[in-house]
Amino acid sequence: MLTGSNANSIYDSIAGTNKKMLDELNNELSKKYKSEAYTFHSLVDYDDFISGVEQAIELHSINLTVIGTNGATGAKEVIFGSNTLQLIRSVNCPVLTVPENYSFSSIKNMLFSIQKSNDPFATKVDIIKNMLKMHPCNLKVLELSGNITTSLDREDSETIKALFPNQAYEYYFLNTDLGLTAINTATQLLKIDLHAVYSEKETFIKRLLYGSEVSRLSYDTLVPLLFL
């Protein structure tokens, strides 16, 4: 049985080094970006990854979570998920994934991809609107549908117009599912700098039988990808 002092000693020995490194990084970033309109704060939590992030989101009223991806793939990643995939699937907060070795450039074109069957995304676009205020750029909306037997209007719906009543945007339509090839093709052709996508939660059975579209998107995207 551990006493309070022993428990604290174990915590300090495990988290102390990481906390020191994080504090040093925090100080470095604070000095480097001291003229910017934001501040840095370091947090250390002795917990599993997802639980720690969820607690931080709740405690500090976090609006956006940012995490890097390293391009690792494989059956284990597809089924069980890396930290990035677990974050996308689990937390009730938009997640911005940044590809490994990606170099920041100013945002000139933002892409918002949706599927014809997606209705719940209407409550998720506030983060996009806030980003557009901070980084004025061209907004492009890409609507996808894999139902080739249905005749669909090639103009944006009233639902999409209602989402961005005061924001000019360009509308595009593709008669295909939300897949990596379609997304990366659109990203290149439209010269996209930031891509936002509404992703429905995937069940374990679906991932086991069919693989994970979210994993393919998060690992192989060409630009930062925002999961709503």
Higher pLDDT, 222 or 106: 106
Residue 3's alpha-carbon distances to 16, 153, 192, 224, in angstroms, are 19, 68, 55, 46
Higher pLDDT, 226 or 222: 226
Q: In what order do the strands lie in the sheet with 169-174?
A: 65-69, 95-99, 225-227, 194-197, 109-115, 138-144, 169-174
Higher pLDDT, 100 or 225: 225
Work out the pLDDT band at 79, boundaries 50, 70, 90: very low
Q: What is the pLDDT of residues 46-75, one digit of tens each?
A: 778 888 899 999 999 998 999 887 655 554
Q: Which fold has domain 47-228?
A: Rossmann fold (3.40.50)
Q: Is 1 a residue whose pLDDT tops 50? A: no
Q: Give the whole-angstrom CA distance, residue 159 versus residue 163.
A: 6
Work out the pLDDT band at 7, boundaries 50, 70, 90: low
Percent of the chain with pLDDT over 90: 14
Residue at 31: amino acid letter: K
Q: What is the mean pLDDT of residues 158-166?
A: 81
